[in-house]
Amino acid sequence: MNDEMNIGELLADQVDKLFSREVTRERLIAVEQGRFDTGLWQNLDDMGICLALAPESAGGVGLTWQEAEPALRIAGSWAAPVPLAETMVAAWAMGHAGMDLPGAPMAVAGEVFQLGENSPDSGVRVSGASAVTPWITVCDHLLVLARNDRESRLCLLHRHDITVEDIETIARLPGGRVDVANAEPLASAVLPNTLSSALGELGLLPLLACVRTVQMAGLIDRLLELCVDYGNTREQFGRPIGRFQAIQHMIADLAGQSAAARVAGLYACRQIDKGAIEQGATVAKARIGPAATRGAEIAHQVFGAIGFTDEHILHYYSRRLWQWRSEAGSEHWWAERLGQQVLARGGSALWPSITDPKPTTVE
C-alpha cells in the first residue's frame, strides 16, 4: 500500500510542477474565451494522468480514487483550464465497463438519459438532455449513462450527433445545454452489475459530485495560500496586515475550512473505492458547499476591492469555486436528498445506515 500511495503522491508532484509552470492568468483568460489549451492537454496526456484511474486492462494506470486524490486536488488548486477531471471520470467508468477509450478529452453528463428499445435494425439509440455540461463545446466526445426498463448502458456520443446551446456561467468556462434525439453512440456497453450497483439510480452524477469536491478542496487550499502571502506582504499603517488580529482570525477560519474541505474530498474518494459512491457524494458535497462559500468570502475580505479587478488572479479562482459549488448538485440538493432518505427509512434504520452502508466494490 505504501508503494501504491507513493505513486499517487509522485503523480501529484508532477502535476503541480506542470501547472505551476503552464497555468497563467493569460491561459485562464484564453479558456474563458472558448479556446481549448491543446498544448497543456498534450502535456497531461503524455504524463499519463488522464488515464490514472482507468484499469490496466483498458490501458490505464489503475490507481484507486484515494491514490489519485492528491493529483486531482492539485489540478483543482490551479483551476486547471482543461477537462481533466471529467476525462478521468469517463475513463474510469468506461474502463470498468470494458469499453475502448477514445484517447481524447471527454465531457460527462450528470443526467440519466433514455435508452431506446434496441433492435437488430436500429441498434442502440439514446435520447435526453443535460442542463449544463461543462466543456462540451470544446470536446468531441460526451459520455452519458442511459437506461430503459431492461438495462443500463454507458454510451459515448460524438459532438456531431448532439445539439449544444452555448451558455455563460459565472466561471465563464466552455459549456452548454445538451440535447440528444435518438442518436447512435460511437460505442456503448451494458453496465456490469457491480458498477451498476455502485452508481445507483443517479448514474454518473455522484461521481461528478465527488470529483467537484476534491477540486474545490484544492481551490480552497489555493485561496488560503494567497491570503497568507498577501497578509505577510501587504502593509497598512506601517505593518503587514497579517499582524492585525481581525485578519489573523479570518485566515485561521479559512485554514479550518481548508482542512474540512480536504477531509470531505478524501472521504468522497474512499467511498468510491468502497462502492458507496452516493454516500460519499452526499456527505462530501453537503460539507464542501459551506466551506467554499465561507472560503471565498474570507479571501475577498482579506484582499478587499483589488480581488474583484480583472487584472487580479483571485476572482478567477473564486468564480470557479462558486460554479463548482452548484454543479453536480448543490449542498442544499444533496442535504435534502439525504434527509428524504432518512425519513423514508424510519428512525430505527438511522444508525445502521450510518455504520453499515453495505458498499459494493467495483472491480
Could you write out the DSSP letters of every residue in 79-148? T-SS-HHHHHHHHHHHHHTTPPP-SS-EEEEEEEEEEP---TTT---EEEEEEEEETTTT-SEEEEEEE-
Q: What is the mean pLDDT of residues 2-20?
A: 82
Can you tell me the distance from the alpha carbon of 46 to that of 129, in angstroms, rounded to the nearest whole number? 33
Q: Residues 54-80: pLDDT tens digits?
A: 999 999 999 999 999 999 999 999 999
Q: What is the pLDDT of residue 12?
A: 92
Helix axes 245-274, 65-77, angle to 10 degrees: 140
Question: Which of 184, 199, 214 corresponds to the end of one domain?
Answer: 199
Output the domain CATH number for residue 188.
2.40.110.10
Percent of the chain with pLDDT over 70: 95
Q: What is the pLDDT of residue 361?
A: 55
Does residue 243 share a domain with residue 189? Answer: no
Q: Does 169 map to a domain? A: yes
User: At 171, is the pLDDT very low, low, confident or very high (cuts 50, 70, 90)?
Assistant: very high
Instruction: Indicate whether 326 pLDDT > 80.
Output: yes
Does residue 189 share a domain with residue 208? Answer: no
Whether the Cβ atoms of residue 268 and residue 286 lie closer than 8 Å to each other: no
Q: What is the mean pLDDT of residues 75-99?
A: 96
Query: Which residues pair with residue 155 across a beta bridge?
Result: 144, 188
User: At 125, is the pLDDT very low, low, confident or very high (cuts 50, 70, 90)?
Assistant: very high
Pairing of the two strands 187-190 and 152-158 = antiparallel
Q: Residues 227-266: pLDDT tens digits?
A: 999 999 987 888 888 889 999 999 999 999 999 999 999 9
Q: What is the pLDDT of residue 181?
A: 95
**H/E element holding 235?**
strand 235-236
Q: Does 357 map to a domain? A: no
How far is Cα of residue 49 from the mean position of the Cα atoms in its chain?
A: 15
Instruction: Indicate whether 119 pLDDT > 80.
Output: no
Residue 76 domain boundaries:
2-199
Does residue 62 share a domain with residue 28? Answer: yes
Instruction: Indicate whether 120 pLDDT > 90.
Output: no
Whether the Cβ atoms of residue 187 and residue 99 lie closer than 8 Å to each other: yes
Q: Residues 28-37: pLDDT tens digits?
A: 999 999 899 9
Q: Does 305 map to a domain? A: yes
Instruction: Indicate whether 105 pLDDT > 80.
Output: yes
Q: What is the pLDDT of residue 4?
A: 47
- CA-based radius of gyration for the chain: 21
C-alpha atoms less than 13 angstroms from C-alpha of 209 in its C-beta half-sphere? 35
Percent of the chain with pLDDT over 90: 78
Q: What is the mean pLDDT of residues 87-103?
A: 96
Q: What is the mean pLDDT of residues 318-324?
A: 96
Does residue 104 share a domain with residue 7? Answer: yes
Question: Which of 199, 226, 260 corresponds to the end of one domain?
Answer: 199
User: At 358, is the pLDDT very low, low, confident or very high (cuts 50, 70, 90)?
Assistant: low
Does residue 251 share a domain with residue 180? Answer: no
Q: What is the mean pLDDT of residues 110-125?
A: 80
